[in-house]
Amino acid sequence: MSYGIYICPRGRSCFFCLRRYLICGAFQTIGGGIIGGFGIGGFFIELCIMTNNGFGGKPFRLTIIDGGYAIIGCAIIGAILMAL
């Protein structure tokens, strides 16, 4: 496994980045995977969504909804990765 961020044309880069983050971090349990996924979703993906929606002139409520889906999805992925 490489130490860089793998960018797949099908949008799988978040999965590999999250997997690498959880393996290298001190996350050993499913709860740790949920917290790690919540952190990735909240502090990386949510900020990208906020920037895109801000420049697109979309309402802030839409940013909260889209960011919430990203945070919940990353938390679920983190739990699944730590369960494996």
Q: What is the pLDDT of residue 61?
A: 93
C-alpha–C-alpha distance, residues 23 and 42, integer Å = 19
Q: Closest Cα to residue 38, out of 67, 62, 63?
A: 67
More confident residue, 80 or 24: 80
The percentage of the chain sitting over the pLDDT mark of 90, rounded to a whole number, equals: 10
Residue labelled with tokens 């409520």: 61
Binned at pLDDT 50, 70 and 90, residue 9 comes out as very low
Quote the CA–CA distance of 75 and 48 in Å, as a whole number. 17
* Residue 1 pLDDT level (bands cut at 50, 70, 90): very low
Q: Could you tell me if 24 and 69 are in contact, meaning their C-beta atoms sit under 8 angstroms apart?
A: no
